[in-house]
Structure 1
Amino acid sequence: MKNLSRKTLAAASAVTLGVGLAVTGGLAPAASAAGPDTTFLVLAPQGARTDKAAARVAAADGTVVASYDQIGVLVVRSTNPDFVTDVAGAGVDSVASTAGLGSALDEGETVEVSAAEAAKAANTTADPTKEPLYGQQWDLPMIDVPQAHAVNAGRADVVVGVLDSGISSSHPDLAGQIAKDKSASCLGGVADTTESAWNPTNSDHGTHVAGTIAAAVNGVGVAGIAPGVKVAAVKVVNNDGYIFPEAAVCGFLWAAEHGMRVTNNSYYIDPWQLNCRNDARQRPVWQAVQRALRYSQSKGVLHVASAGNSNYDLAHKVTDTGSPNNGTPEQRANLTNACLVLPGEAPGVVTVSAVGPTGEKSYYSSYGQGVVEVTAPGGDTRFRTQGVSSTLTDGILSTTFNTATRTNGWGFKQGTSMSSPHAAGVAALAVSAHPGMTSSQLSAFLGNTAEAISCPGGVYNPVPLIAAGPNAYDATCSGGARNGFYGAGMVNAYNVVK
């Protein structure tokens, strides 16, 4: 799904998507002619180990770079142009090249606060409202964070995985908040625990997300929703701003095997607006991601994800005209609910829509009855000016990292990329207060403690004068106490700890 703040990093030409195949047959000889070095996901049959698949890979002139035997998935590199055909055989269920399957990160524009504001006098209290920049964090009182902190600000043994572009380990609001022993880069589908590997390279998106979740209450900058917990950087966004399926699979497995209770996923996998399970090109990606999610959920991990910024009704999918977003867009019509946003629409994942400072749906936020679980502050810089101008402080203020100057700071972003970490932070407080909860119990608890918001009447038209057209952001909400715009309602930090 195209997100409002997504960089439209279109490639100069169309890319060829890998074909997923159900394969059978005997061993095939390795190809002799070399092609480009390509990454593949090779899936063993559900529930099977990967040893037979690994043998097929070797016979087809491939190299296993990561083996996730827990879920029967191999990440493979090969220059064999016939690898997909040659690897076919007993022990291999499906295979797909991931070339061209990187989805551009919903980056967003960072508007930094002034040096004077950032240098305000420090304080030494444990009150988030005393943080120097708290006055611009309208989002925290909206979800009762100060009241929650008076009861429980989070436990240090609770770790939230930030699957994103990395976290600045030198940021003064985050340096003591990062579980460095649980942080890694998953680029290429292989975990690299080197600190430089999981720090940001070309994007401060992950640093901003991490600050919303857990920025320290230390008299510097901003306050996080759960400053008592730790965040782990799980880097899944490469230096070009893309998330490839193998990195996401690695990230989910890394979180599962390193005791994380919550992950935040402010992205989607695959450059297509929707991943269609009935599309041979996309099905292996769905299978691999679904296996990784199920395994991590069985290990107690709750995954929280953004709904997307296309003002798209996820419950009524009809067409897809704007993807892939890294090639020449194709027209896909008559879509069904076999086509999903990943990871947001995968079973068990908490999908979060966004609201602005007025508490109403952000003009860009995607929605859908039965899809959106909860809502949270994500910012809306256009609502109060009716699209004529932008009110930047109606975005979300958090920690930033200027990748050009390699300096830390604070700044505003907006998007469901910002609402999702609000829900993840509240989930971290919930599991801090109720450590025995399973991931499914925690998911239900977030909804049961949310503050219900009713649907607006008629057609919702938040920005009628926006340059895109008077009806460009029209949307219709359906449902009652749980509805398409807000799910069960606004997450509430105090309700989960009181």
Structure 2
Amino acid sequence: MRRTTFRAFVAAAVAVSAAGVTAATAAPAVAQDAAEAHFVVLGPQHGSLGRTEASIRAAGGEVLQSWPQIGVVIATSADAEFASTVRGKPGVAAAGASRNLAELGQAAARAAGAAEQQGMLAKIDAVATTAAKSAPVAGAVTPEPLEANQWGVRAIKSDQANAISGGNREVLVGVLDSGIDAAHPDLAPNVDASKSVGCTNEGVPDTSPAAWAPTTSSHGTHVAGTIAAARNGIGVAGVAPNVRLASVKVVDDDGYIYPEYAICGFVWAAEKGIDVTNNSYFIDPWFLWCKTDPDQSAVIQAVKRAVDYSHRRDVINVAALGNSNWDLTHEITDAGSPNNGTPVERTVGNECMDIPAELPGVVGVSAIGPETRKSYYSNYGLIEADVTAPGGDSRQVAGTPDGNGRILSTIPGGGYGYSQGTSMASPHATGVLALIRSTHRNWPAPLAAASLGLRADRLACPPGVYDPDGTGAWLATCQGGPSGKGFYGFGVVDALDAVTR
């Protein structure tokens, strides 16, 4: 098995601990030379990182950011051998390059993997720049003007749930993504600027609005709309339209989510009272990070420390499983990594993992289309798929006025657009968790996370080999029979149960 799964939460939902944590401190970033590479260095998980930082400098590195609360330092060095040099020095438990040393070579090779990386940050087609405002009806949930085309909200019953509850204003959802357009009329009522941050400057938190606003990508704004677009008579409806949103920007202008960005985001969520995070990405530059490689292993450990820290602070983390039609339980041929340089084809097994989705306790979400079957592109796995949710599928027909099988949501500039991907499935599940946390404010994170699976609607495996378009190009085999676990985990998330049970 690749990870300790979300299913462990179900088995031990009542065994919850409240561990103490240390307040955050951070070293200021220093100006970096273009020919320096980035590294994660792991020190002691408790106490000072003084010896760790001294060893980094003694090995010729510079400290960019220290996270003493998790024992992780982000460093740079122009020396390709820096990680192997610093390993084993006083205060150093592990070290590894976070960006595959591509920064030390020619930048021209970056383009080779860019298209592969952008597959997770799904392409969004704008369909409207404005949406008429509709008059609300007293005592009822009035459909939003574009809601008739949101088959996903009906598939998980959030339209019915919202007649009972749209969520609690005390609940805060962190959208770890490419930034949220806080001026969008469907999002402006719910974006909490005081809890938002940018993490793409070397992983150093920056709370200026420009640091967490979208720049080159619509992805984060689209994800945010699915979670919590307001029911205000304008545009679309979110699954939990009354909860607050924090924009935690972890996607840089080139579309990369490097480890230091994600670590910053998880620590921020832990320390700012965020209840649920949505992570519709994989951490670059490796599609799958391998424990057998010392550099990649160090990164896995560093991100895991940040995720574990957020768990101790009562955060639930939800993540997309990816869009390569991979069975994550079995061997995979990865021909796209590293995606910031020249990819090298490799066959990997359970020693390698998609992070953050396969980290312990993270809720991994696969995607279904409007015909309630696996989206052709969705990754899956008997262990890795915890739940499933609407992610869209252009090859399935929606019973909507537009007939579009993809997901409609908000995009920057006050517009709306369609997209598909497990990136779109994850925020549906996140929205349901926001409703669960709203309904049961006294439930700790493990219990709330477990209830997501316990309330899901089972979906059986399709018979035989799944061939969604009949061409053989997207073949997949679902393990689990009537349980559907191989494709769908515990099943389709259920928003109505979230507010009634």
* 8 A Cα contact 2:256 2:284, kept in partner: no
In 1, distance between residues paired with 2:492 and 2:60? 52
Question: Which one of the candidate residues 195, 206, 210 is aligned to 1:182?
Answer: 195
Question: Which one of the candidate residues 313, 331, 347 is aligned to 2:360?
Answer: 347
Per-residue CA shift, 1:118-168, capped at 9, x if unaligned? 332432358554211111111111111122112221111111100000001
In 2, distance between residues paired with 1:80 and 1:125? 66
Q: TM-score when scaled to structure 1?
A: 0.86
Instruction: Report how far residue 35 of structure 1 moved.
Output: 8.3
Residue 409 of structure 1: aligned partner: 415
Gaps in structure 2 of 5+ consecutive residues: 1-32, 103-113
| Amino acid paired to 2:474 | Y
> Do structure 1's residue 84 and structure 2's residue 86 form an aligned pair?
no
Matched residue SS, 1:208 = helix
In 2, distance between residues paired with 1:363 and 1:81? 40
Residue 269 of structure 1: aligned partner: 283
* 8 A Cα contact 2:84 2:95, kept in partner: no
Question: Which one of the candidate residues 136, 153, 157 is aligned to 1:124?
Answer: 136
Instruction: Report how far residue 321 of structure 1 moved.
Output: 2.7
Per-residue CA shift, 1:461-488, capped at 9, x if unaligned? 1112xxxxx2011111111425111111
Mean Cα deviation higher: 483-492 or 146-155: 146-155
Residue 16 of structure 1: aligned partner: none
> Do structure 1's residue 421 and structure 2's residue 434 form an aligned pair?
no
> For residues 414 and 181 of structure 1, do their structure 2 counterparts lie closer, same or farther at Cα, with a shift above 3 Å needed?
same
Question: Which one of the candidate residues 179, 184, 209 is aligned to 1:195?
Answer: 209
In 2, distance between residues paired with 1:81 and 1:486? 42
Residue 12 of structure 2: aligned partner: none
Per-residue CA shift, 1:367-413, capped at 9, x if unaligned? 1112100000010111349xxxxx87211010002xxxxx3300110
> Do structure 1's residue 158 and structure 2's residue 171 form an aligned pair?
yes
Residue 219 of structure 1: aligned partner: 233
> For residues 445 and 57 of structure 1, do their structure 2 counterparts lie closer, same or farther at Cα, with a shift above 3 Å needed?
same
Mean Cα deviation higher: 477-486 or 367-376: 477-486
In 2, distance between residues paired with 1:78 and 1:326? 18
In 2, distance between residues paired with 1:164 and 1:148? 26
In 2, distance between residues paired with 1:431 and 1:314? 29
| Amino acid paired to 1:437 | W
| Amino acid paired to 2:94 | S
Instruction: Report how far residue 110 of structure 1 moved.
Output: 1.6
Number of residue pairs aligned between Structure 1 and Structure 2: 447
Instruction: Report how far residue 175 of structure 1 moved.
Output: 1.0
> For residues 488 and 251 of structure 1, do their structure 2 counterparts lie closer, same or farther at Cα, with a shift above 3 Å needed?
same
Residue 376 of structure 1: aligned partner: 389
| Amino acid paired to 2:435 | L
* 8 A Cα contact 1:160 1:263, kept in partner: yes
| Amino acid paired to 1:488 | F
**For the aligned residues, what is the CA RMSD?**
2.0
In 1, distance between residues paired with 2:133 and 2:249? 33
Instruction: Report how far residue 50 of structure 1 moved.
Output: 1.3
Matched residue SS, 1:411 = strand
Instruction: Report how far residue 290 of structure 1 moved.
Output: 0.7
Instruction: Report how far residue 101 of structure 1 moved.
Output: 7.6
* 8 A Cα contact 1:178 1:232, kept in partner: yes
Matched residue SS, 1:394 = coil
Per-residue CA shift, 1:397-437, capped at 9, x if unaligned? 10002xxxxx3300110000000000000000000001122
Q: TM-score when scaled to structure 2?
A: 0.85
Mean Cα deviation higher: 121-130 or 451-460: 121-130
Residue 439 of structure 2: aligned partner: 433
The percentage of aligned residue pairs carrying the same residue is: 49
* 8 A Cα contact 1:363 1:383, kept in partner: no
In 2, distance between residues paired with 1:357 and 1:63? 51
